[in-house]
Amino acid sequence: MLKNQANSLIDLELQFIVGREQELMAFESKLAQIKLDQEPGLFHVYGTAGVGKSTFLRLCRQKAQQYGAVYLQLDSRDFVHSEKGIGAALLSQIGFTGESEYDPIQRFCEHLAQQSGERVIVLAIDTYEEMQDMENWLRDRFIPTAPSGLLLLSAGRYPLRGSWLWSPVWRERLHQLPLQQLNRKDCLNYLNLCGITDELQIEQIWRRTNGHPLALSLAAAANNLAESLVSFEGGDWFEQLAALWLQEVRDRELIYFIESASIMRVFDQERLSAVMKQDVPSYFFDRLIALSFVRRTERGWQLHDLMRKSMNVRLKERMPKRYRELTTRCAEYYAKAILQSKDRSDIEWEVSELLSYVDIDVLRALSYEDDYSYYWEAVTETTLRDAIAYAKWRETSTQPVSGYEVDPETGARFRIEYSREMVRYNAAPLDLEALYGLEPLSIKLLRGPNDQACGLAICIPIHAGTLAWLEKDPLSSPYLSTLTETERDMLAAPREQPAGWFIRSLDFADILNPQARTAGIRLIYSYLCRGGLTICTPYDSEIGRKSYTAFGFLPVEGASHRNHDGRTLTPTYALDTRNGKLVAFLTQLFRRSGIELDISGCLPEVPPRYEPNLIGILSEREYEVAKEVAAGYSNAEVATRLLISESTVKKHLKSIFMKLDIHNRTQLTAKLIAKP
């Protein structure tokens, strides 16, 4: 009964979709071709935000079902971008849930082949612009193993480029087209369907929306909530429509819940209750998710992007204290989810949500609004040649860089200055083929909007298989030489669970490109939040020192070197987020953003046991200082916690290092933590 009602509602909604006849004819033609050839194919639509890509997929679903095809759909924002993550998402589409030792992709393909027979299988992926990090896997591994008769239907902001077009095989099987704004005739038809027939109102809506489908939809909804659109002059059209859209909420108390939900990019009743620190009644939540600007996703519900941003601005301006409290609670919620996770290889989504609340001046200046047209991909045997080509290009293309970025909130300027030599040495060239043979996951390429290589990252996992190589490398060996035998042994982890990562180089074709820089910052954060030891030693520069300390890195005593060029003294930075140190890192990160997180006691790990034999060597106060330092607190934090001055902390540390014959905090931690 409920299913029939849902289908009736879907059919009713489809009646309000106008235009797209030519696009649907092209899709139907592609279906027929796949049916005839029984070979995989691709159909990709692209266009700006709000142009109707998701709506077009709904039309494709209806057309595919009429054609007798099997239709499955994913949204790239609803699953972790890994083979395991997409495998689980695909299995859920065919009714399989729970853990299994069986390969999820193989299980999915075999089941689908058995059930589909000779029917066409349409696999639709919405928000495809955020799937670019999985493109190589889709093209080189998934599609070749999928059942014959597969049509990959995708919708994103950008056209498919790069390897899809370079290969004559894929180029022949690909059909892609842009979704344009609606013409005047289609707009008139849509407004008439919505009951708007006044010529003056129709003309006003047409001129203001210019046929943009989302704006048109908002305008039609707003028209039923306001006597006239004439009174709304000036300002941003979308913001005006969002304000009118709120008139759909007749109960003013419900706006309180909408404001809270706007702080979270995805919410459900449990998350919303946690952030608001009160139980959200089911009847209120039901009314919230029934609003026309709220949509369902696999991870919960979302306010429409335009509505969420509008409500964010409104809340921040009108009630800054409440805005800050809600932001803090959201950050705490995701920080606790990360800390309490048993497998941090599956928390990419939580990490991305958490980092949306970080607010630091140098990062605001260097970052750009999230733009997934730039993305990192781990190289494969096929794309290794692209990485090698980029490295060779960099060796001969080392132009000096000079520019600055401005913090939009404070106006502070950050100079970006690199000489020709600094650019060359910062790239830190090495034998990429040999490194790929040692550890393929070490090499990542940054791809741009046209799929061109825009950067190269060498991030080497630290484990038993790479440790000997790292000890010989001129850039990583200075740090490793400061470790004791015990500390070194702690890095000999299994390959599946590396002890950390050495970011050997992070090079961009254009460091002044803010989108590329933002992709680099996201990459660094992805390692820092995994709970490991992250090491880096970029060629020394003013902006480098400011950036890496802003990330939370600290220079390592005794690990500075001149191995880049033989002359320039370069610091080595390290950030250890293993065990309890991840709590300290997140606390300090958000403290710099003006947010005090309450995340103590969130780790599932057993607290470290301290070596009692050191009590006879250290004084009582020195022992207290040593324990605080081992827990990951900075000198200033130790001073505050022990009610002493920071200079006194430094004197105690100097004495501790001398008594224990050590040189840095890492060695002190190893001395304090007893072996199990």
Query: Domain boundary at 215, 231, 247, which?
Result: 247
Claim to verify: residue 627 and residue 523 sit in the same structural domain: no
| Residue among 543, 501, 497, 546 at smallest CA distance from 523 | 501
Long-range contact pairs involving 259-262 (C-beta distance under 8 Å, separation at least 24): 259/311, 259/314, 259/315, 259/319, 259/322, 259/326, 260/326, 261/288, 261/294, 261/301, 261/303, 262/303, 262/307, 262/308, 262/311, 262/312, 262/315
Domain contains 280: no
Find, among 272, 281, 270, 310, the residue nearest to 293 by Cα. Answer: 310
**Residue at 62 is within a domain:** yes
Flag whether 412 is in a domain. yes
b/e sequence 47-68, b meaning 16+ C-beta within 10 Å: beebbbbebbbbbbbbbbeebe
Q: Do 95 and 13 fall within a single domain?
A: yes
Q: Are residues 517 and 640 in the same domain?
A: no
Q: What angle do CA 570, 572, 575 make, to 5 degrees?
A: 155
Task: Assess whether 459 and 546 both reside in one domain.
Answer: yes
**Residue 42, beta-bridge partner list:** 152, 174
Chain segment 529-588, per-residue pLDDT in tens: 888 999 999 999 999 899 998 888 999 999 999 999 999 999 999 999 887 788 888 998
Q: Which amino acid is at 184?
A: R
Instruction: State how many domains the chain has.
Output: 4
3-state secondary structure of 19: coil
Q: Does residue 68 belong to any structural domain of this protein?
A: yes
The ranges of the chain with pLDDT < 50 are: 1-6, 9, 227-235, 605-609, 674-676
Q: 215 and 174: one domain?
A: no
The single residue listed with the structure tokens 């709120």 is: 246
Given 247, 271, 287, the domain boundary residue is 247
Do 521 and 627 fall within a single domain? no
Residue 558 within any structural domain of the chain: yes
Quote the pLDDT of residue 10: 52
Task: Write out the DSSP string of 149-212.
Answer: TEEEEEEESS---THHHHSHHHHHHEEEEE-PPP-HHHHHHHHHHTT---HHHHHHHHHHHTT-
Give the CATH number, domain containing residue 562. Answer: 3.40.630.30
Residues 143, 8 share a domain: yes
Query: Does residue 42 sit in the same domain as residue 88?
Result: yes
Chain segment 142-151, per-residue pLDDT in tens: 888 888 889 9
Assigned domain for 599 exists = no
Say which residues have a Cβ less than 8 Å from residue 441's Cβ, sequence separation at least 6: 378, 461
Ranges of beta strands (E only) in 347-419 are: 375-378, 401-406, 413-418
Q: Where are the alpha helices (DSSP H) in 15-158?
A: 21-37, 53-66, 83-93, 104-116, 135-137, 143-145
Domain for residue 522, yes or no?
yes
- Domain residues for the domain of 88 are 2-178
Residue at token pair 């990485």: 387
CB 384 within 8 A of CB 433: yes
CATH code for position 95: 3.40.50.300
Instruction: Kindly report the average pLDDT of the chain as a whole number.
Output: 83
**Are residues 532 and 425 located together in one domain of the fold?**
yes
C-alpha–C-alpha distance, residues 187 and 174, integer Å: 30
Pairing mode, strands 533-536 and 573-576: antiparallel
Q: Which of 178, 200, 217 is the last residue of a domain?
A: 178
Mark whether 169 and 223 lie in a shared domain.
no
Q: Residues 70, 191: one domain?
A: no
CATH number at residue 656: 1.10.10.10
Domain assignment present for residue 332? The answer is: no
Looking at the structure, tell me whether residues 573 and 619 fall in a common domain.
Answer: no
